[in-house]
Structure 1
Amino acid sequence: MSAPAPTAPSRPARPQILLTVKERVQLTPHLVRIVAGGEGMALIEAREHTDAYSKMLFQQPGTNLTPPYDLDALRAELPAEQLPTTRTYTIRRIDLDAGEVWIEFVVHGDEGLAGPWADTAKPGDPVVLRGIGGGYSPNPDADWHLLGGDESAIPAIASALEAMPAGARGRAFIEVSGHADVLDLVAPAGVEITWLFRGEAAAGTSTVLVDAVRAAEWLPGQVQVFVHGERSAMKALRPYFTDERGVDRTQLSLSPYWAYGRREDRFQAEKREPIGQV
């Protein structure tokens, strides 16, 4: 009788980083910045990646739970709909000297869980992070850069633009609802920022980003690409970069941050299914 196959060790849970809201800043009608800090900053290290992100834990309205959350105990005590929910957000900035992290949220009325939380957050409210990851930073050896995305990618794009050397060249395409959502981003003089307006179309249903990227002049030399946003747009752009333009895969960062009509738990689950492959 053969021995049973060894069980792969489970990945240890990332420690919960407990912070509190220091300030809420309304950047545009649809974008809110939460500045957080506190003793939990001791668990955060400086990162070179400009697409740093974290899993955030949000408690359900009315549950009045106190972080850190003992998730195993809560699963045994509470129905699933009352458990804290995980959402993934890009960290706009980590400032260890100031003891702050900036996290920016897209807000569309009372839709979802994280957006409404950010819309009403006040100093002292808890912020619970589970580790910080990331994988992209501008390559100083690239001849030019191409960046793109919708509102969900603004924090990462803004961080990347700020991190580029003064002589960097490139194009950045950012899809938003309208003119009121335009931000004054810091960027090298040689990087042109184009704001794309989808108007009355719902986020995730417009082709303005795909159309603009495909129509843009393709500059000579080695390009580094960073394009993130809604899943269908990312699916449409991948063959353009890999097949039509022959972008080196080591210089291509392209993946969806969200999918139209999907909550994050379903969106994350679909990454393992054919529909979620980009």
Structure 2
Amino acid sequence: MSVSTMPVEAGLIKRPMFAEVVANRPLTPHLRRITLTGEELDRFAYEGPDQLARIFLAPAPGAELHLPHSEQWWPAVQAMPDEVRPIVRNYTVRRLDAARRELDIDFVLHGDGGPASAWAYTAAPGDRIGVLSDGAEYAPPVDTDWQLLVGDETAMPAITAAVEALPPDARAIVLLEVGSAEHEIEVRTPVGVTLTWLHRDGAPAGGSDVVIRTLRELALPAGTPYAFVAGESTMVTTVRRHLCTDRGIAKDRVYFCGYWKHTAH
């Protein structure tokens, strides 16, 4: 597991910190937004809209949560006895309000019994969690004329946060893959941004080619692009290959990250 080593503004924190649930509300049938608060969240190191947050959960329901107290957190976690070692997962910050010491994380409910999904389904005000700021990668170069943002449910927090932070004159094409229309959420978009929801309509997550089919038929603008592609690993690599090989976009203008990998059952 890699740990970000990017320099951070003095006074900001890049070690695990405690937080507790303020609210847990459903956005769609399979997406919940959990608002957290904590004494140190005003110093949570926020670097960009795809801000990675490691979350730390107690090893079992009802167990006490123990956190490492150093920026060298991963060796410390590994050294903990099994019965107290926290569960660590990766999520993206949807919103940080440092002044109010509030942080939102959107959790996809996979229905697979995973510890983070199960925790998010039942998390109630006062429940404790650990959070850690661990870097961000979304960084359009200054010469960017237009952006292409592509992802699935797991990339929605990063992409929607990026869209809502765009300046009023920005130009962007956004493709977001979800199960169906009931999984769409409200997103504030500047006038020059086109957001298209792509539905799998019965296909499992990671089992649809709707993104690449749509992209192949899409007329892209002239000018210098920046592409941000994230989500299921095969979808991400297929889109990157299409953009660089078929569309001739330079590789250094395409950021891509596989957040998860579909495994056929």
- Pick the TM interval, shorter chain: 0.7 to 0.9
Amino acid at match of 1:32: R
For structure 2, the 5+ residue unaligned runs are: 6-13, 70-74
Compute the displacement of 1:110 (Å): 4.7
Alignment partner of 1:45 is 2:45: yes
Q: C-alpha separation between the residues in 2 aligned to 1:123 and 1:37? A: 10
Q: C-alpha separation between the residues in 2 aligned to 1:196 and 1:251? A: 24
More helix per residue: 1 or 2? 1
Equivalent position of 2:81 in the other structure: 77
Matches within 5 A, 1:177-256: 177-256=179-258
Alignment partner of 1:33 is 2:37: no
CA contact (8 A) 1:18 1:67 kept: no
Amino acid at match of 1:157: I
Matches within 5 A, 1:255-270: 255-261=257-263
Q: C-alpha separation between the residues in 1 aligned to 2:86 and 2:217? A: 43
C-alpha change, 1:95 and 1:247, in structure 2 (3 Å) is: same
Matches within 5 A, 1:46-61: 46-47=46-47, 49-61=48-60
Whichever of the two has the greater Rg, that structure is 1
Compute the displacement of 1:187 (Å): 1.0
Q: C-alpha separation between the residues in 2 aligned to 1:196 and 1:74? A: 40
C-alpha change, 1:33 and 1:211, in structure 2 (3 Å) is: same
Equivalent position of 1:15 in the other structure: 15
CA contact (8 A) 1:17 1:131 kept: no
C-alpha change, 1:168 and 1:122, in structure 2 (3 Å) is: same
C-alpha change, 1:235 and 1:45, in structure 2 (3 Å) is: closer
Q: TM-score, normalised by structure 2?
A: 0.85
Amino acid at match of 1:235: T
Equivalent position of 2:10 in the other structure: none
Report Cα offsets for 1:137-194 as digits up to 9, x if no partner: 4456422111111000100111110111111112111110111111110111111111
C-alpha change, 1:76 and 1:53, in structure 2 (3 Å) is: closer
CA contact (8 A) 2:37 2:103 kept: yes
Report Cα offsets for 1:16-57 as digits up to 9, x if no partner: 11111111121111111111111121441343x111111111
Equivalent position of 2:64 in the other structure: 65
Amino acid at match of 1:246: G
Larger deviation, residues 224-233 vs 70-79: 70-79
Give the RMSD, CA atoms, in angstroms. Answer: 2.3
For residue 77 of structure 1, give the secondary structure of its aligned residue in structure 2: coil
CA contact (8 A) 1:50 1:137 kept: no
For structure 1, the 5+ residue unaligned runs are: 1-10, 263-278
Question: Could you list the runs of 4 or more consecutive aligned residues of structure 1 that deviate by over 3 angstroms after TM superposition?
Answer: 69-77, 137-141
Q: TM-score, normalised by structure 1?
A: 0.81
CA contact (8 A) 1:231 1:256 kept: yes
Equivalent position of 1:274 in the other structure: none
